[in-house]
Structure formats: C-alpha cells, structure tokens
Structure 1
C-alpha cells in the first residue's frame, strides 16, 4: 500500500518549547447580537477535559478559511431574512448550537472557529476538528455533548446552502443592501466601499461555486447520497491538491465514497489512521502533525502550489513553492487536547442511561473474546495512552462495501507543474504525467512541513505541553494488544464496473485493499456503524447481512439504549442501501462483517451489554 503521509519520516523532531499558547481571540473582540434563540441545556460525560479545555477543543482554529467572519455573522438564509448562523438553521443542518462567548463571539455552533492569518486584521470563520467530531445524545429529555464522537451533521448540505445564499446575496439588491449595511457599518454610505464589497463577494461566490462543483458526487448517485453523518473526506483532501492547489479544476475525482466520521478517542495510540489504515501515525513526533495538516488541507486549508520564479530557481530554490492558511501551532494544541479525550462511560455519574446487567456483561465478555477480539483489541482505561498496532483486515475477508478503500487507492490525477519533481519534495520517485491522487496532497503537506519547520516544531511542542489526564476505571480486563503485519506496497490496478448485479457493487480487483479495526471503547456512542454508516445500531450489526435493514432514518440524536444507536424511524434524511430498482447503491452496501451473526439472540444481547460497558 502506498505509504500515505510518508513525509512524516523526513523529520525526527524531538522538541522542547516554552512559549505559551498564543491568545487566539483579541481582548477587544466584538460580541455580535444573537438571533434571539438560546442553545439547549446540555450535560457532559467526564471524558478527560475540563471546561476550559473543552472550550479550546470546540473553538481553537486550525487555519481553515471558509469566509470572512463578519460575512458569516451577517449572511441571511437563502430564502428569508433570518441569519444563516441562527441556532435553528444550523441545528437543522446537524451542527450543535452554542451561545456567544469570548472564543465564539457570534454564537456559532461547536467547531466553527474564528481564525486570523498571521498579522492580518481580518478574521475568518473555519471548521475546527470539533465540528466533525462532537455529537449530541438525548435520552428521556436529557441532552449530553459527547466530545470526540462522530457528528451527524450534513457538511455537503451546509456548503450547498452557503453557496446558494452567497449567490442570492449577490443577485438580490435588497439582500445585498442589508448585508452591506451590517458588514460595512459606518462605511455603508461610501459608494466605493459598497462596490469593493460587492466585487469581493463575487470573488468568494465564484470560488465557493467552483469548490462545490469539484467536490460533487457522480450524477448517477442520489442527490442526498452524502447527507447527514457522512462525508467523503479522503477525496476532498485529494481534490484540494489535484484541483485547487495545482489550479486545475478538471483534475478532480468524484466524491463517491462517503464515510461515517470516526471517533477521536484513542486516535493518538494507533500506528496508523484513516478507515483503510493508509496513513502512518508516528506518535509524539511529526506523524500526528502531518496527519492533521492533511485533514485541514481538505477543509479550506488554502493549500497552493506554484512554480518558483526563474531567478529563485537559478539561485538553487526548489521548483515548487508551497503556501497555505494552516495554523500549525494551534494544530499542535488541538492534538494535545484530542490526546486527552477518553471514551464516554455508559455508567458516568451524569448519565441517566439504564443500569447495566452485570451477568450479561460477564457472559458478553467471553463472547467478545471469542468473536471480536482478534480484530478489535481491547485497551483498558489504564492503557489509554499506550500505543498499539491497528489490525488491517483485507476487504475480501471482511466483505463490507469496498468503495472507500478502493477509491483511496485507485484515484488518479494529472501531476501538472509537479511533473519531474520528487514525490516527497526531497525524496521519492519523480512524478510522471499522472499519479495516485493522494500523492499530490502528500507532496503539498511535505512542502508545507519543509517550508515551516519552526512552526511545525512549535506545534509539536504545543501537543506535548498539554498535560495528560488520569484514566477512568471502567473495570475492564487487561488483554494483550494484537498486532498484524502491514501490507506491502502494491501496484495500482482494477476498475469499477457500474453494471453490477443486485447483490453488491462489483470491484474487479480487491487485492491490497484493507479496512482498519480499532479498539471499541465507547463504541455505544458512535452510531451509525461500519465505515460507511450503513447500519443503524449494534443489534442490526449482529443480524445476518441479508436481513439487515435496507433503509433507516439518520439525523436524530434521540438515543436507543436497547439496540444501541439512535432512533432510526425518524430523522432528517433516509439512508438507503438499495436504489429504486433494488440494486445496492455503490458505497452504501451493508453486507459483510458477519462476525457474531451466528450467535443466539440471548448471546447477542449479552455481547451488546458488554460493548455498552466498554
């Protein structure tokens, strides 16, 4: 398998740095008027972060720039005069409303952070990791925030509506007039100021519309294919390099393999990340920084590659110049915070979930060891900071939908101005005319690391400065971690056959494709299940694959403690495994992973009870 993010091996950085975290939000930050609604009252599970650290996790920026912060504050919804940022509207899109605070002056949802690039006066709004990795859980009227849990938000729906409202603000004189009056303030009467704002709005509108097109799915797939709780983040990262950084908008791949957002707790312990286990994750060094840089590249990190001027190349400068808006120091701080996030406990003192059955747990523990543990090793709370080697299971063996692993490995793109340069900037084979798509983004990440070694070192220091927390005792047995040999690199091969039958999408060659298994601590709070979010609850996961539900609703945060997942007979969008002709939609198969499906109902309920206790 291609060693994605292999540029992590370029630098063995052991750092000690004493500078304090930078003050991200100036003391004179303006608090913008709220829309009149308040965020719901929520409680929190004890997960290793104190209240101040949780606020930092929610609102520390990564350097992703979606829009100027003032613009996002005052933009209206596409079809009315209410604010786009209103709690009702953002909640409809699945994001978690929060009230105004010093770090969140406009009262934006969890994970929408204010970012400033260098010495720029203007602030931008951008996603931080909490937007995709925080969720809400509701049971019997009590709401909880679960830090590090996969969001059920609709990222594509959010961006589609943002593009729509930018276009309508530009086209509608009255809508633009209200927007300009709020943004310009005292300069509103200045005709030239309005003209400049309108021209700048047009530029952002065009850029957003281009991004929408580049990251679109194929026309043959349903319009709500991605929808709530899923995103093809990997292809977004690829396209950030191939289409945007190289300024070749046609040099893109369709986002046809959306996945459920992974939970974050324990990420720092694994030797590799991504659903297909493709990204090395060297702990305590540059590995996590490289992994996070790649993630920001995919969500408005502003990666750019351009040829260096001739005079620089004559002086020995590298052929390609790299730039971005990524905030390396803050990325390090966020990694340190994420490292401290621990799995939520079912029996947390704040929890109102039903009491667990100890007899069932005892029986389920044995069943887990016999049916699950060979892939999903168990890590006790005392081991929460110890590294482990993730198990990679061949797609042929696990039998789940192959699209995510296949597209990550087989997407190709033109190399453009990178042709002839080394794949990892300083090392690696030189790029031919075309290459594996992700290699271009990896090259960009390597270029940024080499351009900003001091900032990367500072970011790693910030990671290591966050003091580790003590683990919580969940009364789990110690078990040996299971390590599997990694797959060797292999040639690119295979192709998708769209003329598949009614059983599952046909991939002509699954050789070398894998999915990663990880410890299941806190798995009860992370529905829906499988990498593509195609199974609503743990009970359905233990059902024989042909009898699993082929349609269920997604987007409700109301918890089902029996089947262990969210209520699936209502929600914001219906997930469908099959199309109207009865054929499985490529990317949506819920077949495979038949481990434990042979058990009796009594044994399945015992196994589920044990997984609740993890």
Structure 2
C-alpha cells in the first residue's frame, strides 16, 4: 500500500478556479450542494471527522467537496419528513436505496463537516456499496463496500431534492419549526437559516434542476445505474446536448490490486487509477483549490489505497465442489481468454460489432470529450492527461461476479443464468432494486414487482429492454453450451 501523499499538490500558474454543478464518470455527481454561499468564517473552525480504517474512510470520509457540493446537514435531514409525499415509499432516504449501518448517524456514502453550519456531502461509497439478503424475512442486509450499489436510485434521489425545492413548502416558515424539533438552534443560527441557508439552498437546487433537465429526455436510469458521461459533458466540459444516452451499470471497484493495468470503466476511457480517483473527485465538486490542500490529497490517497486493498466478497451460499471443478474447465475453454484465468479482467477491447451489446454507452463518449477533460486541469501539477476514446468495451473483471447483478454494461440481464441464454430468450422486462439474492439463477430476485423490507412493501423499478440504451442483446459467449456445462460454469463463476 502506498504511504506517500501523492494527491497533495501545489497549484500551478493556471490553477482551475471554475465552479460547476453536476457531472460524473467514476461516481455519479449528485449535484447536492449549495455553492452559492459560504456560511462559515474564522470564528468557526472547520472540523471533518478522520478515520483510521480505510474502509470506514471510504464509507464516511470527506473527499473535499463540501464547499461546492455540501448541503446543510439539518436541512438535508428534515426534507424526507416534510416532503415524504415525494418519496417512493416510507423510510425516508432508505426508500431511495440509501444504506444505514447500526450506530451511524449518516448513511453509507456521506461525510459530514462542521463549521458555522454543518454540511453533508456525497462520497464514492454512495454509489459503490452493494447489499444483499438471503430472504425477505432477513432484517438487516449484508453491506459490501466497493460494490455495484444495486439498490441506490441516484436519479430518484436527485429528483427528490429537485421536487422538494420546487414545492412552495420549501420556505423558512414551514422548515424552521421542523428543524427545531431535531436540533437546538441559537437565535443567530435561526436567522442564518431563515435568510440565507434555506433560500440559497432552494435557489441552488432549482438551478441544478435546470442543469439536469436533459435527464427527462432519456429513459429513466433505475436503481444501480447512472449516466456516467453526459453530466460531465453537459456540465463543466461545456459541451452541447448531443442526444446521446450514457446510462450504465455502476461497476464494482473491489480488488483493484489484482486487475491488470488500465482495466477501468466499461470502455477503458482512462487507464490510470490515480486519474480516475482525481477526476471522480472533481466531478463530484472537489475544486482544484481543495485538491491542492494536503488533507484532501491525503483523503483521496486513502480512497485509492482502499480500492487497491479491498477484498473481493466470497460467495456466501453452499457450493457443489464437483460442479465447480467441472465449471473451471468450461471457464478455461470459453471465458478465460477474454476475462483472465482468475477472472481478473484483461485490457482487451472488444469492438462493438463483435461483442454485440448495446452501443449507446460507448457512443456517448467522444474524442472531443476526452480532449476537453484532459485540457480541463491544464496548469495544475497534477493535471489529467490519460482520457481517451477507445475502440469498444473492455473484457471487464469477473471477480465477485455473483454480486455484480444485473449483468452487461447497462445492467440489462438480471442473472447469469439468463445471460447464458440466447438474447431472444432473455427477459424483455424485469424488476430492479431488490436485495434478496437468488443463488440458483445467480442474481437478485427480479420477477416480482415489490419487495418486503422490515414489514414494509416497496415497489421496484421495472426495467424495459426495448428502450434506447437498455438493449439486452450481444455477448453470445456460452449461449450454445449444453445445459450441464452451463450449470457447471455457473457454479464456478460463483467462486471468482
């Protein structure tokens, strides 16, 4: 593990000073913040919690984006109570797939910074945390860091915030009494919230709603998916809306150390892990000024260290040893040449025409976008330079494959069993957002429109493969195998 603070740099002569709203490549940029005001001053020293554990830091540590994307904590906390009618179900933010660990005040994927007002901001774990249950009667899910985040509805979360800000109830007369039920505010703090925090938060969210209006012209993302290219293009890269659809499955990030160099993103658009972490922070509101601060550089270094060291989750259900052995031979003959002998992935790029999977995600990223990204940090000592347009999709890592579901780059096939079927036999629609695991099919339960959690019924998202960007064709490898070979292969894939 690296111990050097390789993310702390001094600003170059043309340090980027731009402020922006939205964008996303590795994470998803959620546009949470209120960058239009600075509410703290020298009388209020800033305090950001520090964590010795790399995993705890990944879950709850700051990536330095509070000044740009921080949302007032108490206001953020009260919104689900005041605007519960705008959520898809009960349970506050958990109705959108956020995960809470016992004893934690924040859900996984958020950090909190104290100043004159307390700010909450997203980090990498918000999208990249998986969870599963063995049955609907299980109480708490098993949480797996650096995963594919199949439950979190990023677009639904954005739209919830935007709808709250669009509601006439988003005013001090309604919100302050609710805020006082949660926290004891001084007279000065009440005035700050009434005349600055609440109106400026609403103003910023409405502005961001306008910036994200392009989402409404594309198919809905659904839980576990995100537009990964277009927020950056239409945001800080200043590119016009080109009508492309870049929605993709949120990838798992565990076990980076075992991956070959350059095996990142669905299409390998940047082969340098350090640049991916830096660009993800920028896209989530971390300014160049913040990156140049030693504490932020150290925080981003911890994120990279965790991704390198994070363990691949072991399959938690019973395996058939004989079938696993037979499946290993099938894998070696039919899968290893692309995905690696241990499922670690390879830098091999498969042309779109050859792999046959939906091309929308690949089409959404261009040479111009790559060049603009590389130029964006020109003048910084840590400038980005490795963004590129590639020739197809990567043969991605299969480690922890059992918990990657749904499958393909756009999450269009619910289980491995169905991925080994010809496209004509794959489901044309199914339900996303379930956390109950199906060991037989190797994926999450996807044929039920709702799920029980804690005695409450939640409606799930219906995924339609006929919509642009949602196609489930291609990847014909293994579809012609005999039935017994498919069963053996599935058993072996659970072990990767």
Band the TM-score falls in, shorter-chain normalisation: 0.7 to 0.9
2:284 aligns with: 299
Aligned with 2:223 (options 221, 224, 228): 228
**Separation in 2 of the partners of 1:177 and 1:144?**
36
Structure 1 residues 113-512: aligned runs within 5 Å:
113-115=111-113, 122-140=117-135, 141-142=137-138, 143-152=141-150, 153-168=152-167, 171-172=170-171, 174-179=173-178, 181=180, 185-188=184-187, 193=192, 195-197=194-196, 200-217=197-214, 219-222=216-219, 225-243=220-238, 251-252=240-241, 256-268=245-257, 269-272=259-262, 273-281=264-272, 288-301=273-286, 327-346=296-315, 351=316, 353=317, 355-379=318-342, 389-409=346-366, 436-450=368-382
Equivalents in 1 of 2:254, 2:337: separation in Å? 20
**Conserved in 2, the CA contact under 8 Å of 1:534 and 1:590?**
yes
Q: CA deviation at 1:555?
A: 0.5
Q: By how many angstroms is 1:601 displaced? A: 1.4
**Corresponding residue pairs, total:** 436
- How far does residue 178 in structure 1 lie from its aligned partner after superposition? 2.0
| CA contact 1:78–1:164 (8 Å) conserved in 2 | no
Query: Bigger radius of gyration, 1 or 2?
Result: 1
1:446 positional shift: 4.5
Instruction: Please provide the CA RMSD for this pair.
Output: 3.7
Q: Is residue 539 from structure 1 mapped to residue 437 from structure 2 by the alignment?
A: no
C-alpha distance in structure 2 between counterparts of 1:528 and 1:514, whole Å: 21
Deviation at 1:180, TM superposition (A): 5.7
Evaluate the alpha carbon distance shift between residue 130 and residue 447 of structure 1 in structure 2; reply closer, same or farther with a 3 A threshold.
Answer: farther
Which residue of 2 is the match for residue 462 of structure 1? none
Q: Give the 3 Å change call, closer, same or farther, for CA 192–123 of structure 1 in structure 2.
A: closer
1:470 aligns with none
Tell me the TM-score normalized by structure 1: 0.63
1:60 Cα deviation (Å)? Answer: 1.0
Contact residue 356 and residue 475 of structure 2 kept, 8 A = yes
Q: TM-score, normalised by structure 2?
A: 0.77
1:233-266 Cα distance to aligned partner (Å, 9 max, x none): 22223334224xxxxxx84555722111111123
The answer to whether the 8 A contact 1:545-1:592 is kept is yes
Any gaps of 5 or more consecutive residues in structure 2? 7-45, 451-459
SS of match in other structure, 1:108: coil
Q: Is the 8 A contact 1:134 1:145 kept in 2?
A: yes
Q: CA deviation at 1:302?
A: 5.0
CA distance in 1, matches of 2:153, 2:479: 31
Question: 2:34 — aligned with what?
Answer: none
Name the CA shift for 1:521/1:17 in 2 (closer, same or farther; >3 Å). closer
Deviation at 1:92, TM superposition (A): 1.1
Cα distance change of structure 1 residues 605 and 389 upon mapping to structure 2, 3 Å threshold: closer
How far is 1:96 from its partner?
Answer: 0.8
CA distance in 1, matches of 2:63, 2:379: 18
Is the partner of 2:327 in helix, strand or coil? helix
Q: How far did residue 442 of structure 1 move?
A: 3.0
Structure 1 residues 40-72: Cα deviation after superposition (integer angstroms, max 9, x where no partner): xxxxxxxxxx99443222111112324122332
* 8 Å CA contact retained: 2:350, 2:394: yes
Q: 1:548 aligns with which of 417, 421, 426?
A: 426
Inter-partner Cα distance in structure 1 for 2:224 and 2:182: 33
Q: Look up the match of 1:468.
A: none
Once the two structures are superposed, residues 458-514 of structure 1 have per-residue CA deviations (whole angstroms, 9 ceiling, x without a partner) of xxxxxxxxxxxxxxxxxxxxxxxxxxxx9x988xxxxxxxxxxxxxxxxxxxxx631
Structure 1 residues 186 and 109: CA distance shift in structure 2, 3 A: closer
Q: Is the 8 A contact 1:258 1:404 kept in 2?
A: yes
For structure 1, the 5+ residue unaligned runs are 1-13, 28-49, 102-106, 244-249, 282-287, 305-321, 411-435, 454-485, 491-511, 579-584
CA distance in 1, matches of 2:233, 2:425: 36
Which secondary structure does the structure 1 equivalent of 2:463 belong to? strand
Q: 1:358 to 1:216 in 2, by over 3 A?
A: farther
More moved, 225-234 vs 58-67: 58-67
**Cα shift at 1:326:** 10
Work out whether residues 334 and 478 of structure 2, in 8 Å CA contact, stay in contact via their aligned partners in 1: yes
Matches of 1:573 and 1:369, distance apart in 2: 36
